């Protein structure tokens, strides 16, 4: 299962190096995760009203090539593993065929008070 | 009454123009407002627990000169007017004697549900 | 002449108030300006290679209603005035019919060294 | 060799979860790196004028506990390894004794055109 999300690089995303500020790749891949779960049928507002939120637990990120102003970038998101406790994704950002950024992201579910909980069964079902 | 707050410009604050990204001056002056109200004795966490938040209502901003990486900037905040409904501030950002940015900022008080309310009497007292 | 740009509100755009962080509306309207000038035929990368950049000179902004996570927002951009020295725009952000934010934005042209210059004739032509 | 940097969490750093937006920890640790290299005698503006920049190559990050508005956070930076090609750091963010975030960060040197180069000898000397 693979999900594709496209975005444009704006002025706000760049830094004085003339390229995308490194931490903004984490923003880009979170946008992709939000679009992906919505496409799957997971409404994060409803989930939140029910007292649960997604929380990033760990990220391993490789910065391979710079992104630039006006670039159209694609984020490809793939599920690597789903356990009762956590979801591991691979997310890669491309400009055309060039890989700019690659991350392995582990997310967990928590109550809005910050207590870790199992992934809800209906969400695990959506993911499979 | 005038309050002074100092900050450093980091990579994250700049854009591909090699200068501070314009919208980040609004972040800088909000940091200054947060430090200012804390210095006055207004704890925004406690205020929020009591169901009230500060909300920016209007900003008139002039961008006069660029900020740059590694600059040490000073934000000077002055009260211009306090009414039962709103607080108007003048906030100016300097590098040494050079004025980079100047804004007139109007803030109001709202409930955490977004309903406008009068400024609490104890906060008005702090401001005078 | 009116230009319309649509965006989604993501986690990164919100603050602890549960709404769009106020300064991020300035980012949203700059995205709209970038899309607008590209649509007009103004390539900001080429312009920059030619030694010129757009610089925000003044913003008057009214924050009228909160934006929220997952909202789809529309930015409507209209030219208010073009002079040899500057361009004044009105930019309004809506969620459906609700106006969230309204700004009058004055932008100027500068050399990449920060010297103010007249708007290039070909850009003025595009704007009329 | 260990370096300590302190920062305050502001509104801009939080998200609708009421906590520090995860990607902002990467900003916090970059501020710490900038302060650290300046303290060591490495002027990034001068380095840049000489055609070289620091570039983040890889980050492994663990998000252990939430940061909150008004928190005073400490970033502790330690060198893990220096080779001719790269510098590996461990950076940990604390609130008092509580560890919120931990990252292993690999940075490299590049020309301003993006070509990887060896760490300059004078910088390697500063690091040892």
Hey, is the C-beta of D20 within 8 angstroms of any chain C C-beta? no
Tell me the residues of chain B between 89 and 128 that have a Cβ less than 8 Å away from chain C: 112, 114
Instruction: Count contacts between B and C (CB, < 8 Å).
Output: 56
Residues of chain D contacting residue A61, judged by C-beta atoms under 8 Å apart: 58-61
Interface predicted TM-score (ipTM) of this complex, two decimals: 0.96
Under CATH, which architecture does the A2-127 domain have?
Answer: Roll (3.10)
The two structure tokens encoding residue B109: 């008080």
Return d(Cα C73, Cα C9) in angstroms, integer: 7
| pLDDT tens readout for residues C27-85 | 999 999 999 999 999 999 999 999 999 999 999 999 999 999 999 999 999 999 999 99
For C100, residues 6+ apart whose C-beta sits below 8 A from its C-beta are C20, C25, C63, C64, C65, C66, C67, C73, C93, C94
For residue D60, how many other CB atoms are within 10 A of its CB?
16
CATH value of B2-126 in 3.10.110.10, 1.20.1250.20, 3.10.129.10, 3.40.225.10:
3.10.129.10
Indicate whether A21 pLDDT > 80.
yes
Q: What is the mean pLDDT of residues B68-74?
A: 98
The two three-digit tokens of residue C98, written as one number: 């609700």
Retrieve residue A58's tokens.
Answer: 């760990």
Residues of A in contact with B12 (CB under 8 A): 15, 21, 23
Residues 6 or more apart whose CB falls under 8 angstroms from that of B68 comprise: B9, B14, B18, B19, B20, D45
Residue A71 annotated to the active site: no
Rounded to 10 degrees, what is the CA torsion of A77, A78, A83, A85?
Answer: -10
Nearest to C69 among A10, A11, A44 (CB): A44
Task: From the candidates C13, C15, C49, C70, give the one annotated as an active-site residue.
Answer: C15
Name every chain A residue with its beta carbon within 8 A of the beta carbon of D57: 62-63
- Interstrand relation of C2-8 and A116-117 (parallel, antiparallel or unpaired): unpaired
- Which of helix, strand or coil describes residue A35? helix
The answer to whether residue B10 neighbours chain A at the CB level (below 8 Å) is no
Smallest Cα distance from B1 to chain D, Å: 23
- Binning pLDDT at 50, 70 and 90, where does residue B66 land? very high
**Nearest-CB residue to C63 (from B30, B58, B112):** B58
Q: Which two tokens stand for residue A42?
A: 């997971």
Q: Which chain C residues contact residue D15 at CB under 8 A?
A: 11-12, 14-16
pTM of the model: 0.97
């Amino acid at each position: 299962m693979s999900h594709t999300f496209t975005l444009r690089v704006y002025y706000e995303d760049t830094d004085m190096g003339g390229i995308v500020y490194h931490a903004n790749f984490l923003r880009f891949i979170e946008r992709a995760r939000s679009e992906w779960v919505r496409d799957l049928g997971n409404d994060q507002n409803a989930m939140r009203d029910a007292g649960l939120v997604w929380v990033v637990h760990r990220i391993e990120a490789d910065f391979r090539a710079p992104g630039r102003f006006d670039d159209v970038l694609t984020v490809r998101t793939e599920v690597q593993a789903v356990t009762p406790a956590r979801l591991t994704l691979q997310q890669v950002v491309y400009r055309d065929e060039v890989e700019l950024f690659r991350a392995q992201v582990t997310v967990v579910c928590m109550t809005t008070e910050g207590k870790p909980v199992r992934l809800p069964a209906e969400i695990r079902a959506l993911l499979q």
